Each structure stands twice: as C-alpha cells, then as structure tokens.
Amino acid sequence: MRSQIQQRLDAVRDRIRSAEAAAGRPRDSVRLIAVSKTQPAEAIAAAYYCGQREFGENYVQEALAKQEKLAHFDIGWHFIGPIQSNKTKLIAAHFSWVHSVDRIKIAERLSDQRPIQLPPLNVCIQVNVSGEATKSGVAFEELDELAKAIAALPRLRFRGLMAIPAPTNEIDLQRASFRSLRQAAERLSDLGLDTLSMGMSDDLEAAITEGSTMVRVGTALFGPRPRRDVAAFGAEGASER
C-alpha cells in the first residue's frame, strides 16, 4: 500500500510531466519544490523517503527548527517568504536558494552575510506581476535596475524571477501573468538567467506552458495547511508575516 504522500507526489509529478509534454518541453525540465510551510518535520521526512529533495519554507524560525531535526537529510532548502532585514543573516547561512528578493538592501545584506565557506547564494527576484498594492515583489518598471544591481553582488548568484500572480481559475489569465514574467526574464537575458520560479498547486500547468523551470507546490503534496497559530511552532513567526 502506498502512503498518501507517495500518491500525492506521484500525482503532482504526473501533472508536471503531462504539462511538459503538452508544451513540447523535455521531461524533467521543471524542478519540483515541495512547499512545507506550517507542515511538521515528519511530513518533510515522509516526502524525502519518497524521493523529494528540495523544500520551500516561508518563515525563518520555523524552517530552522525543522532543519535541525532533519540535519542528517540531504535537503536543498529554498526560502520563499517575505524577508525582513533582521532575518537576512539566518537566511544567508541556512538556505541554498532565496526566491523572494525584492529590494536592493535585502540583497546586499544577503551577499554580505553569506558565509565564506558556502557557495554563492542562488537568488531570484520576486516580481509583483498582478500589480496588487499589498503584494510583495518589485514592480516591472523597477525590475531592470534591481536586477543589474543584484547581478553585481559578489556572494549572490542571480538565477531568475519568481512571481505569485493573483489567483484566478481562468487559464488564459493565469498564462498571461506567467507570460509577462517570462518576457521580463527574456529582456534580462544578458544577465544569464536560467530560472523562472512560477506555478503552485492550482496553476502549475499554465506556468509550465509559459516556461516555468521551478514549481512551488504545497497543498497538492501535503494537503491543507495547519493554521499557523495552532501549528507546533508557536507564535515566534507571527512577526515574520
């Protein structure tokens, strides 16, 4: 009998493969990042035993607690949440990717604080593709300047762009948002980008059609998230929102 996590992982991998094939893209051209925010370390371990190796987390203290429990696992950790400047030092030391950089000040701190014994930190710039006033992410108009500045930082490796479009069930609207991110990345091709971090549980097909290279999937793998205030990690992260 296969476990529930194995079934969900198989289902998500099937969705990714079908979308790759439908778009005429090579198999395994899209990396799956399992988003484990608010899920316990046991859920990560279960996915790991099913072959999943890359995990995304949104809250620093919560992530560090799980990393400590899973220290003997060979996991690639991706930070995908909003970044407060007083958390950059921990992020620089404990993650190999950061998807959510949207200010030069944060990028400079991550570069300065990346431990010298580690390779450069892989970063993506988060872009506010839907233009929502409350959303994280840099506006398209400010992207080029930020991208050039980040590409020049010595301890960062600027890999690409990330977005979380406003949710919609309309596949054409989903595709339009993802296409705008891809086109922005194409305009920055001089900087050698190779990553488009786009697509989540409900819109990964549209993202893959438009060129996603990393999908960040939580609910479809782990089921509904426990509410944070009742999750085991307590109140420490409330201020990280």
Ligand X SMILES: *Cc1c(COP(=O)(O)O)cnc(C)c1O
Positions in 107-146 near ligand X (CB under 6 A): none
Token pair in block for residue 75 = 């996991």
Nearer of residues 82 and 120 to ligand X, judged by Cβ: 82
Nearer of residues 20 and 203 to ligand X, judged by Cβ: 203
Instruction: Candidates 41, 96, 201, 240: give the one binding ligand X (CB under 6 A).
Output: 201
| Options 44-52, 84-92, 187-195, 214-222: segment touching ligand X (CB under 6 A) | 214-222
Please report how close the Cβ of residue 100 comes to ligand X at its closest, in angstroms: 7
16 near ligand X, judged by CB under 6 A: no
What are 203-207's contacts with CB under 8 Å, separation 24+? 203/165, 203/167, 203/174, 203/178, 204/12, 204/15, 204/16, 204/19, 205/15, 205/18, 205/19, 205/22, 205/171, 206/171, 206/174, 206/175, 206/178, 207/174, 207/178
Positions in 24-43 near ligand X (CB under 6 A): 35, 37
Instruction: Candidates 36, 39, 58, 174: give the one binding ligand X (CB under 6 A).
Output: 58
Cα(91)–Cα(156) distance, integer angstroms: 13
Instruction: Candidates 60, 63, 200, 207: give the one binding ligand X (CB under 6 A).
Output: 200
Residue with tokens 């909003």: 82
Cα(50)–Cα(13) distance, integer angstroms: 12
Residue with the CB atom nearest ligand X in the bound state: 218
- Containing H/E element for 180? helix 171-187
Nearest Cα to 160, choosing from 105, 52, 60, 78? 78
Please report how close the Cβ of residue 94 comes to ligand X at its closest, in angstroms: 17
| Amino acid at residue number 125 | I
Instruction: Candidates 217, 228, 233, 237: give the one binding ligand X (CB under 6 A).
Output: 217
Nearer of residues 2 and 241 to ligand X, judged by Cβ: 241
Cα(55)–Cα(97) distance, integer angstroms: 10
Nearer of residues 202 and 240 to ligand X, judged by Cβ: 202
Label residue 162 left, alpha or beta by phi (over 0 means left) and psi (-120 to 50 means alpha). Answer: beta
Give the residues lining the site for ligand X (CB under 6 A).
35, 37, 58, 80, 164, 200-202, 216-220
